[in-house]
Structure 1
Amino acid sequence: MNRRLKTFQSPTKVIFGIGASEEVGEEAKKLGGEKALLVTSPTPVKLGLAGKAKNLLEKEKFKVEVFDKVESEPTLELANTISNIVREKEYDIIVGVGGGSALDLAKVASIMATNPGDVKNYLGIGKVGKPGLPKILIPTTAGTGSEVTQGAVLTSKETFEKVGIISKHVWADVALVDPLMSMSMPPRLTAITGIDALSHAVEAYMSKNRSEISDALALQAILLIVKNLPIAFNEGKNLQARYNMALAALLGGIVVDPVNAGACAGHAAAYAFAAKYKVPHGVSVGITLSYVMECNVSVCLEEFKNIAQTFGEKVDALPLPQAAEKAVINVRKLVGETLGLPTRLRDVGVPSDAIESLAENMLRNTRLMNANPKEISKEEAIELFRKMW
């Protein structure tokens, strides 16, 4: 029995299931107001997903304006652009429809409507002073879990780094998680977002800050992803697989939130190169995940044995280190062989002479590195990136 006190928090109201997105009008009406900003990106607009949400809001007498200029891996500059818009237009509610980038920018819009100055002023933990506008988030991918986290991730063009805002005021009021919204994802996007969800669950399951509650959710998310991501990848219209992946992404988002378990060295390693070399987040964590697992295997033997079993490995008769190693092998195989995503830094344009600086960048991310289950020295970090390359 572990006597350490645990904290677990997930204040967002979640409506999950087929047709959940159709509740946006009713939920917005409960939150109040008359004027809504719908934050989205070109793809949900093209697919009609954003338009459907707009119509449902208008049915409840909301005046709706649309910001559809969200780009993948949104920058601080874009965040300041939308901040100026929400301050000028005086909206009552923010609705985000899209992948993690759109949802993160919707969260930024919400808090910047009520907090003055530049977005840079709020980077870090607990720097947002006032609650933002009410916000409803509707994910159209199954990966980021942004709809239930208290973080918003942005990219700095100046430093080529991923930066973030973490605050209790960033949490959404309502998340509408509808598996139907992800049915149009093409195979590669399905793979990238699915591996993002897997990285959340596995890293939370490794994290020093984990608890029995987060462990239960993380392991269930891993099982759902292992069993359903290959199906969703190969059969995009398989509703059961999409349903299970939407649930897995939701669970992964809950546990990867820093107040629960959070991510660790895998995300720190990914952040070290993703922005500079323009590698999508799901691709970058897909590269780092199995190598960080390999680095941590000696202190996560039981956990990795459990992960190996989600892949169907018969490991009860094996020595524990050998059983745990099966998890590393299977995760790497899922990323590279099954889904066809990169598993090496060289595959995404990272040069070998960058390895030492990447190791230093990773170690500077103390929030994530302090959550890693074992301390990683500079020499070990360099060796980690050498293996990745």
Structure 2
Amino acid sequence: MVSKVVFGRGSFNQLSEILAPKRLSMNAPFIYIIDDVFKNNQWLTSRIPLAYDDKILFISTEEEPKTSQVDAIVEDIILTTKELPSGIIGIGGGSVLDLAKAVSIMLTNEGEAKDYQGWDLVKHPAIYHVGIPTISGTGAEVSRTTVLIGPEKKLGINSDFTPFDQVILDSELTKDVPKNQWFYTGMDCYIHCIESLKGTYLNTFSETYGNMSLELCKEIFLDNNLTAEESEEKLMMASWHGGMSIAYSQVGVAHAMSYALAYVLGVKHGIGNCIVFDHLEEFYPEGVKLFKAMKEKHNIMLPQGICADLSDADFDKMTTIALNLVPLWENALGKNWKQIITPKKLKELYQKM
């Protein structure tokens, strides 16, 4: 679990005093990995406490984060810093937070990032790393995974060394998120809750957090009485609780299928989950019904026909990738999940999209 958390509007201003005791030396910089949407945003960048050899790496999030991208960032840091960095600070959405976690791990572990895609493969603790979300819903700020697209699969580096050492939850940083992105990422949180609460891995710990997150999602996406600030703060906490819920259980059908969409078509995670979940009445009837009500209320039109031009080889690749995510299917459908979801049935689901 994340050991230290600061919450509240304006808490980003505490970053300097949070980092100061963690600086190892003048030659051990803090490296800021920041979504490049903030590149010309003085409101945010002017408050970053740069000193000595600290530097900012602006990262494009047009595509899902890749293992090769992690390796390139790590190599650049090693070649351009005099000492191992004092810490990695990720500022952005789920993609940037996952990159920050992965980079902090790979600075202390040999090999390539792809070698650590899986469960509990990391051997050495990561360097100090801080997560500051600027959009709410992914749960990346609290999860023990960093989801990456590798040469052969989309899969997280899942380990006890992955979670951030410090998180700053400042909902003011989410105030300019475009509406569609707000919805897609918020639905990532909602789908976390549904898949956790309806899964076979469910336990009292995950259920408690999942229920809190689900109730917040209902309030945010179906209630007309919230102010913008209330909605931002509640979604930030829904994201946190949803991430905690799946940390002690697992996600399910929508995530398994959307991972494959991302690998083959490059569909980003939030919208990919929405496209898939829209067709999963068989598995989550009540959850999908409520999702459709939220989608209608906010006038969201999901892309249609994204799989229309795929070849049989593409479909085979997607079904193989999705079905290899065994813990997700086992959580969703139980130990006998292979008798319920076959490659043929999975292909038919993809063909609806």
d(CA) in 2 for partners of 1:139, 1:166: 19
Q: What is aligned with 1:363?
A: 323
Deviations 1:160-195 (A, max 9, x none): x42321111111001111110100111111112111
Query: Against the structure 1 CA distance between its residues 377 and 188, is the aligned structure 2 distance closer, same or farther, given a 3 Å change threshold?
Result: closer
Q: What is aligned with 2:107?
A: 113
d(CA) in 2 for partners of 1:130, 1:382: 40
**Secondary structure at the counterpart of residue 120 of structure 1:** helix
d(CA) in 1 for partners of 2:18, 2:58: 22
d(CA) in 1 for partners of 2:53, 2:318: 47
**Secondary structure at the counterpart of residue 334 of structure 1:** helix
2:132 is the counterpart of 1:167: no
2:78 is the counterpart of 1:87: yes
Does the Cα contact within 8 Å between 1:206 and 1:373 map onto a contact in 2? no
- Give 1:106 deviation, angstroms: 0.7
- Give 1:263 deviation, angstroms: 0.8
Q: What is aligned with 1:266?
A: 254
d(CA) in 2 for partners of 1:283, 1:231: 22
- Give 1:282 deviation, angstroms: 0.4
- Give 1:53 deviation, angstroms: 4.6
- Give 1:68 deviation, angstroms: 0.8
Q: What is aligned with 2:64?
A: 73
d(CA) in 2 for partners of 1:187, 1:348: 25
- Give 1:351 deviation, angstroms: 3.9
Query: Against the structure 1 CA distance between its residues 169 and 28, is the aligned structure 2 distance closer, same or farther, given a 3 Å change threshold?
Result: same
Q: What is aligned with 1:40?
A: 34
- Paired-residue identity, %: 23
Single out whichever of 245-254 and 63-72 deviates more from structure 2. 63-72
Q: What is aligned with 2:7?
A: 16
Query: Against the structure 1 CA distance between its residues 254 and 43, is the aligned structure 2 distance closer, same or farther, given a 3 Å change threshold?
Result: same
> With structure 1 as the length reference, what TM-score do the two structures score?
0.79
2:17 is the counterpart of 1:26: yes
Does the Cα contact within 8 Å between 1:12 and 1:148 map onto a contact in 2? no
- Give 1:49 deviation, angstroms: 5.8
Q: What is aligned with 2:341?
A: 377
Query: Against the structure 1 CA distance between its residues 174 and 49, is the aligned structure 2 distance closer, same or farther, given a 3 Å change threshold?
Result: farther
d(CA) in 1 for partners of 2:189, 2:155: 19
2:245 is the counterpart of 1:255: yes
Does the Cα contact within 8 Å between 1:39 and 1:70 map onto a contact in 2? no
**Secondary structure at the counterpart of residue 333 of structure 2:** coil
- Give 1:91 deviation, angstroms: 1.0
1:1-389 matches, within 5 Å, as 10-34=1-25, 35-48=29-42, 50-55=44-49, 58=50, 63-71=53-61, 72-88=63-79, 89=81, 90-156=84-150, 158-159=151-152, 161-229=153-221, 238-257=228-247, 260-292=248-280, 294-297=281-284, 325-335=285-295, 338-342=298-302, 344=304, 346-347=305-306, 351=310, 355=315, 358-374=318-334, 375=337, 376-378=340-342, 379-386=344-351, 388-389=352-353
Query: Against the structure 1 CA distance between its residues 184 and 360, is the aligned structure 2 distance closer, same or farther, given a 3 Å change threshold?
Result: same
d(CA) in 2 for partners of 1:336, 1:167: 38
Q: Which runs of 5+ in 2 are unaligned?
A: none
- Give 1:77 deviation, angstroms: 1.9
d(CA) in 2 for partners of 1:48, 1:336: 36
**Secondary structure at the counterpart of residue 54 of structure 1:** coil
d(CA) in 2 for partners of 1:247, 1:52: 26
Segments ≥4 residues shifted beyond 6 Å: none
User: CA-atom RMSD, angstroms?
Assistant: 2.6
d(CA) in 2 for partners of 1:254, 1:38: 25
Does the Cα contact within 8 Å between 1:342 and 1:348 map onto a contact in 2? no
- Give 1:50 deviation, angstroms: 4.8
Does the Cα contact within 8 Å between 1:139 and 1:176 map onto a contact in 2? yes
Amino acid at match of 2:192: H
Deviations 1:18-53 (A, max 9, x none): 122222222212434242000112112333365145
- Give 1:357 deviation, angstroms: 5.0
Matched length: 340
Does the Cα contact within 8 Å between 1:335 and 1:343 map onto a contact in 2? no
Q: Which runs of 5+ in 1 are unaligned?
A: 1-9, 298-324
Structure with more helix by fraction: 1
Amino acid at match of 2:319: A
d(CA) in 2 for partners of 1:350, 1:50: 42
d(CA) in 1 for partners of 2:270, 2:183: 8
Deviations 1:130-173 (A, max 9, x none): 111101110000111111111111123x44x4232111111100
**Secondary structure at the counterpart of residue 154 of structure 1:** strand
